[in-house]
Amino acid sequence: TDLYAVMGNPIGHSKSPQIHTAFAKITDQEMLYSAILVPLDGFDTAVDDFFRRGGKGLNITVPFKENAWRYADQFSARAQRAQAVNTLMKLQDGSILADNTDGVGMVRDIVVNQKVAIEGKRVLILGAGGAVRGVLQPLLEQKPANVTLANRTVSKAEALARDFADLGEIAACGFADVCGEFDLIINGTSASLAGELPPIPASCVTAETVSYDMMYSNETTVFNQWALDQGALKTIDGLGMLVEQAAEAFLLWRDVRPDTEGVMNAIREDCR
């Protein structure tokens, strides 16, 4: 049986074991997927041990996505850009390949599951941390008309915009300086963890605006509720992104892409 796992700290609430176990069942793959709590200073040792025991692949979550980037030997283009990694895989020659499936997962959730086109749209992204860096390349590959990065610390948004400027039209500003209307507003800040809202002007939202919160919860997130209150057309939370990034990792490992719809419904039910 092939061994896989997710590593993080904390890890108790991770839904990855449930998601990948369901994928394995649907696609008839013989594999075991577990959750491993890794001490904050013990990432490299834990990964060494896992692969030495015959492990085939890992998902990496908070706070180790940058450690995983440093650990790996080879990188997908999107992982290289993201400088953060959520998926590791042991190759035939023993080297470790790193990928970041968060961005493709999010884009697939938006475009395929929710049937919201990104091409030609005005996109506003809130936040400029690892979560946003992780999704920018796949998002820009959809050819939005333009992307505005707004962040509490403006210099971080500016640095990120510079790093991705070759992939599309991308501007940076502070929350209060956001102006104009947007078709898609993505919240990639961790503000909602504290129940806080990035203070952007209500005029960003129109009756056609779709809001996307990378966070998910059993109730409408604070950010999505704000968007609804401003008259947004539709809100989406991060549960679809969670399941789709897992499906992309599964595809990399097993060369088969599981159907995600049933798994998404099961996880949603579980949150209730």
In 3D space, the residue among 17, 107, 106, 87 whose CA is nearest the CA of residue 47 turns out to be 87
When the beta carbons of 22 and 98 are compared against ligand ATR, the nearer one is: 98
196 interacts with ligand ATR by CB under 6 A: yes
151 interacts with ligand ATR by CB under 6 A: yes
- Which residues define the annotated binding site? 14-16, 61, 86, 102, 127-131, 151-156, 214, 216, 238, 245
When the beta carbons of 50 and 223 are compared against ligand ATR, the nearer one is: 223
Site for ligand ATR (CB under 6 A): which residue of 8, 55, 103, 127?
A: 127
* Active-site residue flag, 115: no
What angle do helix axes 16-27 and 261-271 make, rounded to 10 degrees?
150
Q: What is the Cα–Cα distance from 102 to 108, expressed in whole angstroms?
A: 10
Identify each DSSP E strand in 86-183 by its residue range: 87-90, 96-99, 122-126, 146-150, 170-173
- Which residues define the annotated binding site for shikimate? 14-16, 61, 86, 102, 216, 245
Site for ligand ATR (CB under 6 A): which residue of 56, 90, 122, 156?
A: 156
Q: What is the Cα–Cα distance from 267 to 55, expressed in whole angstroms?
A: 26
Q: Which residues contact 52 (CB under 8 A, 6 or more apart)?
A: none
Is residue 8 within 8 Å of 64, Cβ to Cβ?
yes
174 interacts with ligand ATR by CB under 6 A: no
Q: What is the Cα–Cα distance from 9 to 46, expressed in whole angstroms?
A: 12
Is residue 110 within 8 Å of 236, Cβ to Cβ?
yes
125 interacts with ligand ATR by CB under 6 A: no
- Per-residue binder mask for ligand ATR (CB under 6 A), 247-266, x = binder: --------------------
Site for ligand ATR (CB under 6 A): which residue of 189, 211, 235, 245?
A: 189
Q: How far is CA 182 from CA 145, 201, 236, in A?
A: 11, 11, 15
When the beta carbons of 127 and 168 are compared against ligand ATR, the nearer one is: 127
When the beta carbons of 55 and 134 are compared against ligand ATR, the nearer one is: 134
128 interacts with ligand ATR by CB under 6 A: yes
Residues that contact ligand ATR, how many (by CB under 6 A): 15
Q: Please report, as ranges, the residues that interact with ligand ATR according to CB under 6 A.
A: 127-131, 151-153, 156, 189-191, 194, 196, 198
Residues belonging to the active site:
65
